[in-house]
Amino acid sequence: MLEVTPRTRLTRKPDRQVTDRRMLHEILDAGIVAHIALCADGQPMVLPVGYGRDGERLLIHGSTGAGLLRRAAAGAQVAVVVTLLDGLVYARSMFDSSMNYRSAVVFGQTTALSGDAKLDALRLISERLMPGRWSEVRPPKPKELAATLVLELPLDEASVKIRTGPPSEDHPDQEDPLAWSGVLPLRAVADEAIAAPNVRPGVATPPSIDAARARVAAIDGTQL
């Protein structure tokens, strides 16, 4: 269960708050991009990053030169959000129109990883983002590892909010009963892979591309 804390409690539509920890895992495993936010000298900052989940921790990586990540590594409180957009909800008024989604917010403090823990975390992030690719290419060089910051964020304080289904009929008496309303489902699609210009003739598309296709298909929440 996810404990609801003063900062994870939904103010509006509290019925959309989901406290099942498995749903948090499902959203984090389906997502590809997280947005990480923190406050630096009174200035809010937010950046998109790739990430991976390992058990009850979120793993984030980036350049040691990245300002926001350096601040996070130094102990700043962060908020991380992952959003899966499942549809556009067309109500009979713009006011009641909405979106179908699954989203998760995680609060906390990150720890920078080093040594074997850092390498393991990088492999895990890679397996989440591009399954199978780690073993298809050479291992990271010490110089590359030195230029990479890897942060761990425990999934101790998190909220999940989910909207599914048709438009809410909150004001039926004020709406045109003949107007169309409903949902336009949206999902991620992986197109055909495009080989780089320097790929030699005869080099086949690797299995990791098929694995990525399956991973993207798993984001689909249009049947919810």
Ligand X SMILES: Cc1cc2nc3c(=O)[nH]c(=O)nc-3n(C[C@H](O)[C@H](O)[C@H](O)COP(=O)(O)OP(=O)(O)OC[C@H]3O[C@@H](n4cnc5c(N)ncnc54)[C@H](O)[C@@H]3O)c2cc1C
Pick from 35, 71, 83, 175 the residue near ligand X by CB under 6 A. 83
| Residue 99 interacts with ligand X (CB under 6 A): yes or no | yes
- Residue from 111, 110, 112, 83 nearest 99 by CA: 83
| Residue 88 interacts with ligand X (CB under 6 A): yes or no | no
Q: What are phi and psi of 201, to 5 degrees?
A: -55, 140
Pick between residue 8 and residue 110 the one whose CB is nearest to ligand X. Answer: 8
**Which span (4-12, 118-126, 141-149, 212-220) binds ligand X, by CB under 6 A?**
4-12
Pick between residue 86 and residue 127 the one whose CB is nearest to ligand X. Answer: 86
Pick from 8, 110, 126, 208 the residue near ligand X by CB under 6 A. 8
- Rounded to a whole number of angstroms, the CA Rg of the chain reads 20
Minimum CB separation of residue 115 from ligand X in Å reads: 33
Helix%, strand%, coil% for the chain, nearest 5 = 25, 35, 40
Contacts with ligand X: how many residues (CB under 6 A)? 16
Contact (Cβ atoms closer than 8 angstroms) between residue 88 and residue 186: yes
**Which span (52-60, 70-78, 95-103, 145-153) binds ligand X, by CB under 6 A?**
95-103
Contact (Cβ atoms closer than 8 angstroms) between residue 16 and residue 162: yes
Q: Which residues of 95-111 are buried (b: 16+ CB within 10 A; e: fewer)?
A: ebebebbbbbbbbbebb
Q: 177 is written with which tokens? A: 């009963």
Pick between residue 107 and residue 134 the one whose CB is nearest to ligand X. Answer: 107
Q: Where are the alpha helices (DSSP H) in the chain?
A: 21-30, 67-73, 115-129, 142-146, 207-217
Pick between residue 108 and residue 126 the one whose CB is nearest to ligand X. Answer: 108
**Which span (59-67, 100-108, 124-132, 205-213) binds ligand X, by CB under 6 A?**
100-108
Task: Report the alpha-carbon distance of residue 170 to residue 92 in Å, rounded.
Answer: 10
Pick between residue 97 and residue 148 the one whose CB is nearest to ligand X. Answer: 97
Pick from 57, 62, 91, 103 the residue near ligand X by CB under 6 A. 103
Minimum CB separation of residue 162 from ligand X in Å reads: 8
Question: What part of residues 108-167 is at the interface with ligand X (CB under 6 A)?
Answer: 159-161
Task: Report the alpha-carbon distance of residue 21 to residue 19 in Å, rounded.
Answer: 6
Q: Contact positions toward ligand X, by CB under 6 A?
A: 7-12, 83, 85, 99, 101, 103-105, 159-161
